[in-house]
Chains A and B, each alone.
Chain A
C-alpha cells in the first residue's frame, strides 16, 4: 500500500513543498486509484506550468486530507480515468490548461473551450481559439431517436450552458452537458498574487457562494501567512456561511415549487430569500456577503448590539420560512412530482464523487463541516443531514433538514455573539510562506469548495486551483436524467442547482 507517499494534512494546513515527497508517476497513479478504491475521494487533481501534478485525496473517516505530487518528464501520462471516474474532468482540465495528454482517456474532450495556457502546446493540436460546445457529441443512432439541443441561451434568466439530449419519444437516453461559456480565467488571474483584487476574484467564482469561496481564499492566505483567527471572528464567518446557505436553500425550494407550478411556496420563498439576504446586508452592507470577510479576519464585525437586534428579525424570517416550506410537503401533487424524478443511486454517486447536497441526498454522509472541520465547526458541530432515495424529493428534503440545522447554528451563534465583545481589528497579513502548499475546504451551500494555493520562492502564488462543488456534480445531473422524462429535466436540474460560472471559472 503506497498511501504513505501521500502526506496527511489537515484542512487549512500549510506544508512546505520540500516536505511533500515527489512520487514517481506510477506510484502517484496507483495511490490515487487504490485510495479511491478504498473509499477516499479525489477532491483535487491539477497540474502547473512546470509539469508538476498535485493530487488531494479526502480521507473523511480520519478527518484528514492526503496530498501527493509528481513531476512529468513529457507532456503526456497514462490516464487514470479508466480506473477512477472521479479523475475524468480533472484530467481533461489539465489537458486543456497545460496541454498534458492523458493517454487512454475514454472521453477526451475539452472542458471549458479556452486556448491552452502553454504557448504552442495543445492537447488536441488546435491552432485557433476554440468556441464553447463545438465538439463531437455522443449520439444515439436509430430512426426513432431524436436529438434535442437546449441552450446556451435559455428562456429564463439563467446562466449559459448547452445541453444535448438523445431522446426516444419523451424518454431521455443520454444527456451530454457542454459548459465553458462563463469562463473568465479566474485561476490565471490569481497567479502571481495575492493582488488587491484577488479576494474579489475568489468571491465571484460563483456569486451565490461568495462566503464559501471568499472564506476558502482567506484561509489559504491565513494558512500561508501562519495567522490564527480569533474564535469570535471564526464564529461570525460561520454565521455568514450559514446565512448564505439559508438564503440559497430557501430560494432553491421556492424555485423547485415554481418548476412544478406550485405557486404558494414559489411566491413566498422568493420574498423570504430576500429576508435572509437582508440579514447579511444588515451586517456587511451586501446581500451576497461581498467584502464581509477579509484575509486575517473580518471587514465587518458583528457587534453584540447588532446581534441582539438580528435575533428577532431572524426568528421572524424563520417562521415565514417554515410556513412556506411546510406547504410544499403537504401538497400531494408536489410530492408526486418530486418523488418520481431524478434518481441517482448511491453506488454511482460514490463512483463519480458527488459532493454536497446531491451526495447527502443519496445517503452518503458527507459534509466538510463535520468531516474536515474548519472555523467554528469543531467547537459548534453541525449534524449531517441526509436522505436515502437520491431523487428530487431527497435533494429538496436534505435542503429542508439543513435549513433547520443552520437555523439552530445561527440562533446559537447570534446568542453567543450578543454576549461577547468584538475582537480587535485584524492587522495586515505578514508575507506568505515561500514554496509552500495550502489546501482549504469549506462547505458551501452546494457542497464542498476547495481552494489550493502553491507559492513560489518569493511567496507569490505560482498556481491557484479552485474546485467548485459544481465541478464534481454536473455529471450527476446527466446521470439523474437517464431514462427519465425529458419534461422532468427542469426539476432535476433545479434540484441540483449547480453553478455554471463556478464550473467554468
Chain B
C-alpha cells in the first residue's frame, strides 16, 4: 500500500510514542483485573506511571560489591528492548525498522537483554540473585526454541523473514489458521514465561526463594529500578504485539488498525489477569514441562507448514 511521506511519519511517530508511553498501562490493567477477580478494588490502573515518577526522583543505592555491569543491566535491557520494539509491527502498520532477517535480530535482542540482566544479577554476588539467574537462563533455553519454531512456521507461510510482513501479513488467514493456532498457543506459553507471570513465576510474590525474574532485580533501586520496571512492561507490550498481531482483522484502514491493536492488547492483558486469578503457580520442577509443551506446539505448526 503506497503511503504519503506525511502519513508514514505519523505512523512512525505513533509507533515510537506507543512504545515509550503505553507499556506501564499493561501491568496496571492486569493487576486491576486480578484485583476485581479477587473482590478487591486494587491499585489504580495508572499505578506503574506513578511508581516510575516516584522512582525517578529517588536516589539509587549501589552495593559495594557491584561494578558498572550492575548498572549496565537495566540500561542495556531497556535500550535493547526499545530497539526490538522498533522491529515489531504494532497491529498492521509496518514497523519503523524492517529488513529481511530482522526476525533473527529481534529474537537475539531479547537474548541480549536477558544476558545483561543476568550479568547484573551475578554482579551483586548475592546467592538469591545467582539462583534467580540460573533459573532464568534454564527456562529461557526452553522458551527460545518455541519462539524460533513459531517464527519458522510464519516465515514458511508468508515467504518472508521480516517481522513486518510475517505478522502484518495481508493475505487471507484461513489458509494457515490451523498452524497459526498452534503457534499462538506456543507463544502464549512463552509470553507467560518471559513476562514472569503465573503459572511460571509470580510477579507479586515477596518470597525471594521462589522468584525467577524478580529476584534478579532485588538489589536495584531508584532510577535503575524504574528502568527495570519499565523494561518489564515494555516486554509485555512487544511480545504482546507478537501475539495479537497475526489475529487482528485486516485492511481496516490506518486509524482503525491502531484502535484494533490497542483493543487487542487490552484483551490480552485481561486474559493474562484472568489466567493469573484462576490458577496457582507451578512447582518449579514442572515449569520445564510447561515450556516444552510450548516448543512442541510450535514445532507441530512448523511441521504442518512443511507438509
Q: Which residue numbers of A lie inside 8 Å of B, CB to CB?
A: 146-150, 154-156, 170, 257, 259-264, 266-268, 271, 331, 333-334, 336-337, 340-341, 485-490
Contacts and interface: CB of A to CB of B under 8 A. Distances in A.
B40 A267 contact: yes
A155 B283 contact: no
Which of A331, A333, A337 has the most chain B CB within a 10 Å cutoff?
A333
Contacts of A150: 208-209
B17 interface: no
Contacts of A490: 207, 209-210
B280 A337 contact: yes
Nearest to A266: B38
Interface string B11-48: 00000000000000000000000100111100000000
Nearest to B199: A333
B39 A268 contact: yes
B248 interface: no
Nearest to A169: B134
Nearest to B207: A490
B138 to A, nearest CB: 10
B158 interface: no
A487 B131 CA distance: 10
A261 B281 contact: yes
B209 A340 contact: no
Which of B128, B279, B284, B286 has the most chain A CB within a 10 Å cutoff?
B279
A149 B127 contact: yes
A488 B205 CA distance: 13
A487 B284 contact: yes
B99 interface: no
B209 A337 contact: no
Contacts of B218: 155
Given A148-B128, A148-B209, A490-B210, A261 B285 contact: no
28 contacts: A147-B127, A148-B131, A149-B127, A150-B208, A150-B209, A155-B206, A155-B207, A156-B207, A259-B205, A259-B210, A260-B280, A261-B198, A261-B202, A262-B279, A263-B37, A264-B37, A264-B277, A266-B38, A331-B278, A336-B280, A336-B283, A337-B282, A340-B283, A341-B283, A485-B285, A486-B131, A487-B209, A487-B210
B127 A257 contact: no
Given A262-B280, A267-B38, 17 more contacts: A148-B127, A257-B280, A259-B205, A259-B210, A260-B281, A261-B204, A262-B279, A263-B34, A267-B39, A268-B38, A331-B280, A333-B281, A333-B282, A486-B209, A487-B284, A488-B210, A489-B209
Contacts of A259: 205, 207, 210
A272 B206 CA distance: 22
A337 B34 contact: no
Nearest to B39: A267
Interface in B271-296: 276-286
* 6 closest cross-chain pairs (CB), A and B: A267-B38, A261-B281, A262-B280, A333-B280, A156-B206, A260-B280
Interface string B106-133: 0000000000000000000001101100
Contacts, number: 90
Nearest to B203: A261
Contacts of A266: 38
B168 to A, nearest CB: 35
Which of A155, A156, A266, A331 has the most chain B CB within a 10 Å cutoff?
A155
Nearest to B197: A261
A261 B206 CA distance: 11
A263 B202 CA distance: 11
Contacts of A488: 210, 283-284
Nearest to A149: B127
Contact of B283 (A154, A264, A271, A337): A337
Contacts of A260: 280-281
A263 B276 contact: yes
A333 B209 contact: no
A261 B38 contact: no
A471 B276 CA distance: 37
Contacts of A271: 39
Nearest to B210: A487
B36 to A, nearest CB: 11
A333 B277 CA distance: 12
A271 B130 CA distance: 37
B115 to A, nearest CB: 21
Nearest to B202: A261
Given A170-B284, A263-B34, A331 B279 contact: yes
A266 B202 CA distance: 14
Contacts of B285: 170, 485
Contacts of A267: 38-40
Contacts of B283: 336-337, 340-341, 485, 487-488
Interface in B67-115: none
Contacts of B205: 259, 261
A264 B282 CA distance: 16
A490 B206 CA distance: 10
B141 to A, nearest CB: 15
A331 B37 CA distance: 16
B38 A264 contact: yes
Nearest to A155: B206
A44 to B, nearest CB: 34
A218 B218 CA distance: 46
Contacts of B278: 264, 331
Given A150-B209, A268-B39, A261 B280 contact: yes
Contacts of A333: 199, 279-282
Contacts of A264: 37-38, 277-278
A384 B281 CA distance: 32
B225 to A, nearest CB: 15
Given A148-B131, A263-B38, A267-B39, A334 B208 contact: no
A334 B280 contact: yes
Which of A260, A268, A334 has the most chain B CB within a 10 Å cutoff?
A260
Given A261-B276, A261-B280, A334-B280, A155 B40 contact: no
B213 to A, nearest CB: 13
A264 B275 CA distance: 12
A435 B286 CA distance: 61
Contacts of B202: 261
Interface in B177-231: 198-199, 202, 204-210, 218
